[in-house]
Structure 1
Amino acid sequence: MAIFKGAGVAIVTPFREDGSVNFDKLGELLEEQIAGGTDCIVITGTSGEAATLSEEEHSAVIRYTAKKVNGRIPVVAGTGSNCTETAVKLSRQAEEDGADGVLLVSPYYNKTTQEGLKVHFSDIANAIHIPAILYNIPSRTGMAINPETIVWLCRNVENIVGVKEASGNISSIATLAALGRDDVAIYSGDDDQVIPIMSLGGLGVISVLSNVAPRKVHDMCQAYLDGDVRKARDMQLDALPLIHALFCETNPIPVKEALNMMGKNVGGYRKPLVLMTEEHRELLRREMTNYGLLG
């Protein structure tokens, strides 16, 4: 069973000036997302800079989020790793910390085979009692989870329910939809492909754009789910210039800059991420203004 339908936010992790996690600010962001209609919080993912959180911080962020959200919408925690044992440990801890589900990126750097992916994801999912969403993003991990592998996992491992598709390969996603039918919950992992993927049977998006425009992303997904395809299409097309600006540099550099432009004061980044170039900052400011997020 799918964890959610509609717009999930791949939420950022705010930091203080000394680099520590700003939990008070995180609480404000969570409340704003819920008020904006967001259907699911996805914490400690790529946008949340999970790669540079210690295991203690990782657990603390998930625990705080689950407590703050308090069951109002699902909380999905990124717990993937290129080490199966580490991913098992992180996933068990996330379940203990109150997460409603986990997001599992494919192993990176050491990679594996498709058979290895089956073993890796099965071992993690079988170690927990909450649902798992796979995360297919070969541009970051160096390998794809093939459609046949995703379908096999969703059909053979009870609590693997779907996939966040950020491959950018719409033909592969169409193949996945054809093979998986109602057995695979597909979420767009690319903000510029939300409606195309929903047209293939996708249930929504795990979105970076939702950090700055939660109501619009929710309404776009809901319009499609309600059958208003024209409205959903137009909202997708209207958002494209801003979406492109939000990915003009490595995520989450632009989206954190955008939030700071909006006065959210989410802080900076952990190295090796660094500040945007001035040229890209001006591009982002212009598209934020055009989209109605800045005066």
Structure 2
Amino acid sequence: MKPYSGIWPVAPTAFNDDGTLDLEGSARVLDCMIDQGSDGICILANYSEQFLLSDSERYDLTKMSVEHVAGRVPLIVTISHFATDIVVGRANEAKQMGADIVMMMAPYHGALLKGTAEQTYEQFAKVGEVGLPIMLQDAPLSGVELSVPLLAKMAREIEMLKLFKIESVGTAAKLRALLAEADAHIDGPFDGEEGITLMADLDAGATGTMTSATITDQIKPVVAHFLNGDRQAALDAYARVLPAINHENRQCGFRAAKETMKAGGVIHSAFCRHPIPALPDWTRDQLFELIRPLDPIALRWGH
């Protein structure tokens, strides 16, 4: 078994109806996620709307999260930025606050400013000098092509690069190829994208998944059964949750967790900052139609 395994969901960021940051609500989100059985929690990720937060809000959320979680589960702080000095500064700040792991994407800004393979390697190596374990997020959002030979080289040569969250096209094939080249140097092969390709990725060697916080407790058995050697039970659990995962992934995005937690009394508002639109009523209704039979903790936590 790899040192890092299980389900490590992304924490949604709570806002008030006027768009201001709701730190009390975000603390309740963390409590709910721990009650869901999360093996770890990631904050300030794309599904946390990190691209809609100011630097001061990032600081406040990180400080609150580290203090509130208080070691109950490991906490990952996302630090991605195009500028290497800013990424290193964020890593140092996260370490000083007490974060357990940092997560980062390859350097990119918009569609055309993309780090080269060499620049990506150098940025991760500099963050590695901070001394916190790093999770590399290989996601289509960056538009940066991270080849298996590059990822394997980084895994072998950057000591603190311990975890890889692969969610590019063909995740299972990429995980297989990466582990074939650098398995001994990877302590946490993960997938993402709400677990929509989870079974294929577990078969490929993933030991963990970073989903949203919508139905964490309902997806966790898929991973647990698989890691315990019961593939059929994992398949059965996966078939049970896949329609809800598909709807979230293809129709809702990060808004699914916020709407679910609002309905479940975890947070008071599902507000999304402009230019993100609110979830249409029909999409939300279909979401609840799919998740209510699963009886997820997030839908009843606050009642």
TM-score where L is the length of structure 2: 0.89
Tell me how far apart the structure 1 counterparts of residues 199 and 184 of structure 2 sit (CA, whole Å): 18
Q: 1:3 to 1:239 in 2, by over 3 A?
A: same
Q: Is the 8 A contact 1:154 1:161 kept in 2?
A: yes
Q: Which amino acid aligns with 1:137?
A: A
The answer to whether the aligner puts 1:180 opposite 2:199 as a matched pair is: no
Give the ranges of 4+ consecutive aligned residues of structure 1 lying more than 6 Å apart after TM superposition.
Answer: none
Quick one: which of 284, 287, 290 aligns to 2:290? Answer: 287
Aligned to 1:5: 5
Q: In structure 1, what is the Cα distance between the partners aligned to 2:114 and 2:13?
A: 27
Residues 216-231 of structure 1 mapped to structure 2, 5 A cutoff: 216-231=218-233
Structure 1 residue 3, shift from structure 2 partner = 6.2
- Give the unaligned 5+ runs of structure 2: none
Structure 2 counterpart of 1:120? 123
* The 10-residue stretch of structure 1 (145-154 or 261-270) with the greater mean CA deviation from structure 2: 261-270
Q: 1:122 and 1:2 mapped to 2: Cα distance?
A: 22
Query: Displacement of 1:145 after TM fit?
Result: 1.7
Q: Secondary structure at the match of 2:210?
A: strand
The yes-or-no answer on 1:247 pairing with 2:245 is no
Does structure 2 retain, via aligned residues, the 8 Å contact 1:7–1:38? yes
Query: Is 1:64 aligned to 2:67, yes or no?
Result: no
Contact 1:186 1:203 (8 Å CA) reproduced: yes
Q: Which residue of structure 1 aligns with residue 137 of structure 2?
A: 135
What is the CA distance between 1:245 and its match in structure 2? 1.2
Deviation at 1:63, TM superposition (A): 1.3
RMSD: 2.0
Distance 1:94 1:147 in 2: 28
Unaligned runs of 5+ in 1: none
Compare 246-255 and 47-56 and name the one that shifted more. Answer: 246-255
Identity over the aligned pairs, expressed in percent? 21
Q: Identify which range, 218-227 or 155-164, moves more after superposition.
A: 218-227
In structure 1, the residue corresponding to 2:275 is in which secondary structure? coil
Matched letter for residue 201 of structure 1: G
Deviation of the 1:278 alpha carbon: 2.9
In structure 1, how many angstroms separate the alpha carbons of the residues matched to 2:62 and 2:2?
A: 20
- The answer on whether the counterparts of 1:4 and 1:74 sit within 8 Å (CA) in structure 2 is no
Deviations 1:247-271 (A, max 9, x none): 2346212332232233333431122
**Distance (Å, rounded) in 2 between the aligned partners of 1:2 and 1:250:** 32
Tell me by how many angstroms 1:14 deviates: 0.6
- Tell me how far 1:39 sits from its aligned partner: 0.3
How high is the TM-score relative to the length of structure 1? 0.92
Residue identity matched to 1:66: V
- Give, in whole Å, the separation in 2 of the partners of 1:33 and 1:4: 18
Q: Alignment length, in residue pairs?
A: 291
Does the Cα contact within 8 Å between 1:13 and 1:48 map onto a contact in 2? Answer: yes
